[in-house]
Structure 1
Amino acid sequence: MPALLPTPAPPRAGFSLTELLAVVAILGVVALIALPRAGDTRREGLRAACHVYRCEIEVQASLWLRAQGAWPAADLADVGADPAYFPEGLPLCPVDGTAYTIDGSGEVVGHDH
């Protein structure tokens, strides 16, 4: 008489609760690692944009000096009103939303983010 082999178990229809909990826990750990880095990236982008705006303002102030013979007003009202220098208007600081100002040498004051 031949030996009876065990019959294979029928295939499972889904995942067990333990498997689902393990996947949710792993996804939670990944989210805890990734989310703070995404916030840092945004802040660094805003700081970089502020630096670009500062440089652009200083270049335009230098061009104003060359054309007009004097530095623009400290609040940049005169150079900001001329569309040849800022066609889209004076930029605001993307970090804190404040207006840029310059000192007597054409350098942007503050905004050292």
Structure 2
Amino acid sequence: MHPRQNHQNGFSIIELLAVVAIMGVLAAILLPRATSGVDEAEREACFTNQGNIEVQCQLWQRNNGSFPAANLLEVGASVEYFPGGLPTCPVDGTTYTIDTTTGLVTGHSH
């Protein structure tokens, strides 16, 4: 006759707590890195929007003899220049404005 062996299937509470603690440490390390990528992408999208607006303002100036109004309402309403509508800043949701003497976007130095 063999002695009775006590075999239990599954994990002990200590093993489960250790796994949860390790996962918590990994999440604390990785989560800030993942969210910083979103912030960087939004800043880059803002710079891209600024460049697109400045190019379209240059075209407007070439076609009309002067830059559009600082609030960009006239150029933004034209589907010829902005078929998808005038973009807003992805970082803070504000509208873009330009310097009417240079055609450059003002502000938005994220």
Q: Which amino acid aligns with 2:28?
A: L
Structure 1 unaligned residues grouped into runs of 5+: 1-5
Matches within 5 A, 1:1-113: 9=5, 11-103=7-99, 104-113=101-110
How does the TM-score come out when normalised to structure 2? 0.90
Unaligned runs of 5+ in 2: none
Structure 1 counterpart of 2:42, one-letter code: L
For 1:92 and 1:9, locate their aligned partners in 2 and report how far apart those are by CA, in whole Å: 70
* Structure-2 separation of matches of 1:11 and 1:93: 62
Q: Which amino acid counterpart does residue 12 of structure 1 have in structure 2?
A: Q
* C-alpha distance in 1 between matches for 2:4 and 2:33: 48
Q: 1:8 to 1:109 in 2, by over 3 A?
A: farther
AA of the residue aligned to 1:40: S
Which structure has the greater CA radius of gyration? 1
For residues 7 and 23 of structure 1, the distance between their equivalents in structure 2, rounded to whole angstroms, comes to 33
CA distance in 2 between partners of 1:94 and 1:71 (Å): 24
Structure 1 residues 28, 71: CA separation in 2 closer, same or farther (over 3 Å shift)?
A: same
Q: Supply the distance in 2 between the matched residues of 1:37 and 1:53 (Cα, whole angstroms).
A: 25
